[in-house]
Structure 1
């Protein structure tokens, strides 16, 4: 949101034109500007009147025209006719550049009880949106209320004639009103999400007509980029990427959508935005190039908002990657669009747009000066937590970093980065993010700091940690909200916090308006300056009081409910804090993979940090990891002893050389190496790396022979776990296995083959538009696995729940605080793997609706109360990520940590059942037999035994033992 422009009235006009066009098209099948032609089915008198009104010089004035139209209205009670006449008048007022009278007439449409309710609702929503853009929030809210009331009164028959569903439109207006009037970006997201959910529901409803289905499809397609934009602004990066990729899949596989070329381009824009917010600018550039070409092929005019916004995104990609000078032609086209279209001129603001244009010319000081003006205004008007302030701050940082004449110091970078690290009691609870270029600014800061000595490298380490924490923050925020809902005292504090935060926002915006008024009095020498100064002082006191209330509430929540604080705004620890949490035989390694280099940060138990730049790019790593994973992801276990079965030992050795060999001296002697990653490295199974090239399994020198890699979402997870040690639970086990995916229980437990069971792969049909939960492959052998572990742990038989009892509702209602081991032996679902499903989860027993009520999702898991030493996810893909930038190790693992798990044993590909039982049972047998062993050492011994041939030559292959990864606190 930029400064309030003097072109606001023109912006309102452009906002309202689509409303006029839609209403006109609904009446006569043509744009509103053509309504002077005959109105089909109406009287000749009406036709004659509409043809002669105000077309050429010398004809009656608009006032006379309005009188004539009102006379016709008096004679015509028919609602459609009345609407058509009033639209003509509105259009003529617009053509005369008189938006105030145009809006007045449109309000008369809203108030005209003879006009059908649905058309009045659409008009009210359009006006509400226009007034919100013009910052007339009182009128906007009144019209939103009218639009909702009229939508409720719209009969089903009229819905069949409308060009849009009224609910879609008033939800859009509500979203814009919340964003602009209240600075509530979370509410704006909720409203736009609500519209998307309604559209999806309507699309899936077989009782609705083809017309209603078409409306629903268009709503999903036309709003996809807006929804993804709001998701990124609310720091829901993974959700945004999953949703955008899901829509990309849908437009190619769901025949109900039928996107035209321009709508397909909008989906590609959505993917671009999601990738930008996930630090993948190369991928974003591919998709925005494709989208712009799509707009061109579709004949979209170069000054339309959608086209201009695509150009703006490409400019932002250029800025984030230090290649802005390559896009001067885009800057010229962007400026041309703004000169034609006042909506483009308004969004973004003139100062922001000018700054980007100046930057493409290499005029960095002028670019910084121009952007600083709008940033100062937005900071004053919206506060530091606004996503607009955050992304503009990132732009400003990039201007400074990319200016060859400017020396950016470590302290400059620290001032920019430190507020994001969440170290203070008064944290950022807004949940907002800058999106677009924020990751680019952080990556460039990290790279620059690597050359600034120990202090700069320590800050670079914390930036790398921030990348990992941001990847799954959306799921954690959802879990925090549900946790608050389940805890009355916390719920009360959170509600007070939200009220105080919103009060501060209201006071700030009021102060901004009063300060602007005072400035006008100072320059115009009119008005009562004394009263204006007093009003500003009073508003400033009120805002400061709200800020103090907010800080007090944050301190209270932090003290009484630290787990809530860890979910909504986790703090990034220093190397010294990480070292204090490590044991003597442990080391922590953070990998950040950048576009042009990879960075490794090693922290030992003394808190010493070694930071190193590795000469390997993201593209190269992705290629090698894909080569390594190919044999595993195929889902076909090796059949013959000694057969490599596609396992690429060269890739395994190369990845060790590129990533580990340079830090080998730092980790020498460590029994456990904690590894934090995000993005492409999240898909790397570190356990299967070899320290030197080999040609066969028997001669392979596995890295796990000397140390055990343990995955962890970030250092904060380890520091927090060890700073709050808990008493171990008394009960040995609770297990959920062999869920009934078809909703039926078998009468008896069947005998299962001991050998040759295929991998547990989740069924995904590439060409299907919908997913049938009943067709999920059953997992009877997982019951054997769970029963075997129960016997090893001396757990009673009722500890293993299976069939219909292994359900989501059963998990959610159980008290799990007394179980040391919590086991889920079932399919894992990766976000985006199943059509229409955008969450990570565990497939449990069918409960009536399939995916919606039968999958235990990450935000479900956060609300569980655990005291588990181990959570075991013995399923396919519970640890797999797509490799897209921004993916964390697993949303599921992060969720289980938030729920109270200390460590998680999870699988990275579809495991084979016999080896799965051997690994999990072996780990617990080894762990129980020696009280001195850590969890990492118990897994290491089990994997080493299998790799060494103890379970037979076939099971030397890493397909069988390398699937398992240990995450979290791997100590005893």
Structure 2
């Protein structure tokens, strides 16, 4: 009661000052945004601006004689557009507020104007005005008649959802809520596009909304650390506008899609691709004759500067900086979408004034730390900007301590981890890559940091799917759910406390600036101290609660924010004969990090780059990805022996001495290197399969998503399950009874999910059936001594069946079906396993990574047989890593997956041969059993044809290879 009384006294005493502050701006940017650019004096106006100013008087007289609402809207809308074209954006917005206030104009038009202004004011940090207009937009949307909807260019519900999304992320610091709103817009747009009952006008409005929303949806996906989904969505939208005749984008819409795609590419550490995309966007906006001070061009120029900064090339874009400055002088939305200090810091950096750029962004960071806290994506990307300024400043020396100060909060520790699910968009990967490069020169501790940064890259590629899985796990676990609800409540308190501190700080500044009495200043200072104590207390409660969650539910903690181990911690779980190698391929430099049992650690800079490796990987995979196996012994069938030897020399040879003697080499990587079939590399140039010296002849490469996955798997040992097998095979993709069993014939399914470009949605019935998988499943069952009842097929091989069963008593869990990766089918943004049709198709028939997390497993092996279950694109992260992380989280110890479309006869030979070898020799590890099977086939034991790596090299072991 005493504390509440003290707070009440403080607030009452500060009321005069509060009123004074409220009449001013809550911060500098808001005040500038309210008034727009400085009023243009009559003498400074251009003839065009003076003409528009004079024309307003004519319009006002016409309005006094016009009662028709549509005519009044047309007059004001034209005037607002004329003001904008003349560069008088503040006046344009003033006129649009007149539209909102004009009761004779139809409600729908007014709602759209209110929502548009609400979003613009939210972007300019004027939240009071934004929320007032948003309330108007909602009310007026409810008053819009069905007849008026047919005449509107945009549905009011779309518009106010968009404004709500901006308020959620900018004002409430709830980027997750902003994402939900953006997804609602997308879902509503697609619903209307595919609704045949709607008019052509309504369909076009839905198309406009879908394409206009796309860059902002990408932005919030990235800021919610869903980078793989963001790129999948961006590529999907581009595919849609190229292939769907019902979309027909305008040049501006096509450019906007490229703008969104540039953000998605940058968030996946592909700045070259991001630059190409933003270049296309800017050219598109310019070709469409957008005003150089328009919001789209301002956003695009800012992004190009951010990407250039991440690439170390911002000095080449001084013209962009100057053009952006020009736009900010004209358009208050461009000026105040970000703070003036942040904008000026980029401009200064472009002109080589690094120290002042650092000072300006440091001020923004300090402000955001108060406003939103260190977990805000705004703070995170600004911290990355500051780090890049420091690293690229030729006069600054950035040592290991400073690099560690930036990196450590991102990699986390056991007791202090960030589970907010946010990341710094635009430039964070660039800051990490350059930090890694510098850290490599900072001795042993620096190289440990470089290793952890590389691990963070691999981890980030799949974090969105893991966060979904964590949410599903919490929903299904009452004790965990209660703790998560407490955490969410504390997060709300934290956001509220930051907002209160901002107000208290503003009041204290006003008390000093406006000459408040000493008593008022003392009370204002006390209020600031109180709010700081509230934040500190809330932060301490959050840390304590996270420790409790990590202790009671370690799996959840590893899903939302996995701890990245040091080489020393990883070495403790490695066993004799094992070694771990982390590969990172960068645009300017590549690295290999080797960890051996006992703690020996080596960091090696590789003499290659991502682009060079990409060329070799494409050459190596070309024959495999074509899906055409060799037809006769000795036929290379497109297999590039030269690329197989070159990749070995570029990646393995530099660390050969460090891995010598290891029978199992765990490989952690992502991006382009994730698509390498390491099993088919050769140690020296060869001209024929008979002459090939396969790397697997001496060691077996085993894929692992990252070091954290191996540490987690070995930190929570469990007793082996008692039942030998449960298998899901030959799913019924068409909803009918499964196909009849096939004989010993062989075939290859290269395209499991055929896409019909003329269809509005993917037809799940067209998934290519796999009747031959029954022979494989039954053969494995026989080898393991399992009963026929252990093999589920047809309709029974379904997602719902897998989800409801307790699979924890089976040593081997087999899914003999197709794997599907994000973006493989338009509208699908997750990796998963295609199971029996259950009524809707993709949405209810695919077992996704976030489904898998909630399965109850205690499996020595999870076998993902058939085609492409381990396929990765080599671009935006690592699909096999997403699935394997999910299976490991669910309780699997290892997985066997395929990297291309396998031929059915050899598939059976590999999997049954593997289990036969494994069962016959209890001394063998899983990797040794697979190595023997592949070596036998490569040596010709199964016939000359099967020497070709197409048949045996598709299989890769992922996870813990120990017995």
TM-score (norm 1): 0.90
Aligned to 1:191: 181
User: 1:545-593, CA deviations, whole angstroms, 9 ceiling, x for partnerless residues?
Assistant: 2212212221111111111111111111000000001001100000000
User: 1:707-760, CA deviations, whole angstroms, 9 ceiling, x for partnerless residues?
Assistant: 1100011000001110111122222211111111111004xx634231332345
* Superposition deviation, residue 215 in structure 1: 1.2
Please, which moves more after superposition, 796-805 or 135-144? 135-144
Whole-angstrom CA distance in 1 between matches of 2:76 and 2:756: 51
Alignment CA distance shift 1:647-1:725 (3 Å): same
* Superposition deviation, residue 205 in structure 1: 1.8
* Superposition deviation, residue 88 in structure 1: 9.0
Whole-angstrom CA distance in 1 between matches of 2:578 and 2:89: 75
Contact 2:268 2:876 in 1 (8 A): yes
The one of 313, 316, 320 equivalent to 1:326 is 316
Please, which moves more after superposition, 226-235 or 880-889? 880-889
Asked if 1:681 corresponds to 2:665, the answer is: no
* Superposition deviation, residue 87 in structure 1: 6.9
Alignment CA distance shift 1:96-1:671 (3 Å): closer
Whole-angstrom CA distance in 2 between matches of 1:682 and 1:203: 37
Contact 2:873 2:879 in 1 (8 A): no
* Superposition deviation, residue 516 in structure 1: 2.0
Aligned to 1:783: 774
* Superposition deviation, residue 105 in structure 1: 4.8
Contact 2:271 2:307 in 1 (8 A): yes
User: 1:591-628, CA deviations, whole angstroms, 9 ceiling, x for partnerless residues?
Assistant: 00011221000000112210000101111101011111
Please, which moves more after superposition, 90-99 or 391-400? 90-99
SS in 2 for 1:4: helix
Asked if 1:55 corresponds to 2:58, the answer is: yes
Asked if 1:695 corresponds to 2:695, the answer is: no
SS in 2 for 1:699: coil
Q: How many aligned positions are there?
A: 922
SS in 2 for 1:965: strand
The one of 860, 865, 870 equivalent to 2:861 is 870
Whole-angstrom CA distance in 2 between matches of 1:670 and 1:343: 60
The one of 442, 448, 452 equivalent to 1:452 is 442
Whole-angstrom CA distance in 2 between matches of 1:188 and 1:231: 9
Asked if 1:551 corresponds to 2:576, the answer is: no
User: 1:845-891, CA deviations, whole angstroms, 9 ceiling, x for partnerless residues?
Assistant: 11222222221222222222221111111122221111115346432
Aligned to 1:299: 289
Contact 2:580 2:667 in 1 (8 A): yes
Aligned to 1:934: 925
Contact 2:76 2:99 in 1 (8 A): yes
Asked if 1:797 corresponds to 2:779, the answer is: no
Whole-angstrom CA distance in 1 between matches of 2:31 and 2:52: 31
Aligned to 2:363: 373
Alignment CA distance shift 1:317-1:141 (3 Å): closer
Asked if 1:739 corresponds to 2:764, the answer is: no
Aligned to 1:592: 584
Aligned to 1:623: 615
User: 1:153-197, CA deviations, whole angstroms, 9 ceiling, x for partnerless residues?
Assistant: 544333212221122111111111111221111111111111111
Gaps of 5+ in 1: 15-32, 37-50, 57-61
Asked if 1:469 corresponds to 2:459, the answer is: yes
* Superposition deviation, residue 761 in structure 1: 3.5
Asked if 1:971 corresponds to 2:957, the answer is: no
Whole-angstrom CA distance in 2 between matches of 1:150 and 1:926: 72
Query: Over the residues paired in the alignment, what is the CA RMSD in angstroms?
Result: 2.7
Aligned to 1:821: 812
Alignment CA distance shift 1:250-1:84 (3 Å): closer
Alignment CA distance shift 1:404-1:753 (3 Å): same
State how 1:603-682 maps to structure 2 within 5 Å: 603-682=595-674
Contact 1:2 1:348 in 2 (8 A): no
User: 1:243-301, CA deviations, whole angstroms, 9 ceiling, x for partnerless residues?
Assistant: 11111111111111101112111111111111111111111122222222222222222
Alignment CA distance shift 1:104-1:345 (3 Å): closer
The one of 474, 482, 499 equivalent to 2:472 is 482
Please, which moves more after superposition, 907-916 or 331-340? 331-340
Whole-angstrom CA distance in 2 between matches of 1:868 and 1:682: 24
SS in 2 for 1:856: strand
Asked if 1:8 corresponds to 2:11, the answer is: no
Please, which moves more after superposition, 224-233 or 98-107? 98-107
Alignment CA distance shift 1:874-1:534 (3 Å): same
Contact 2:910 2:952 in 1 (8 A): yes
TM-score (norm 2): 0.91
Whole-angstrom CA distance in 1 between matches of 2:320 and 2:114: 36
* Superposition deviation, residue 649 in structure 1: 0.8
User: 1:401-460, CA deviations, whole angstroms, 9 ceiling, x for partnerless residues?
Assistant: 111111111101010111001114232121111121111111111111111111111111
* Superposition deviation, residue 464 in structure 1: 0.6
The one of 815, 839, 847 equivalent to 1:856 is 847
Aligned to 2:953: 962
The one of 145, 167, 171 equivalent to 1:177 is 167
Aligned to 2:264: 274
User: 1:644-691, CA deviations, whole angstroms, 9 ceiling, x for partnerless residues?
Assistant: 111111111111111101111111111110000011000000000111
The one of 293, 311, 329 equivalent to 2:301 is 311
Whole-angstrom CA distance in 2 between matches of 1:574 and 1:868: 27
Please, which moves more after superposition, 389-398 or 828-837? 828-837
SS in 2 for 1:263: helix
Whole-angstrom CA distance in 2 between matches of 1:960 and 1:783: 19
Alignment CA distance shift 1:299-1:120 (3 Å): closer
* Superposition deviation, residue 4 in structure 1: 2.7
Contact 2:125 2:336 in 1 (8 A): no
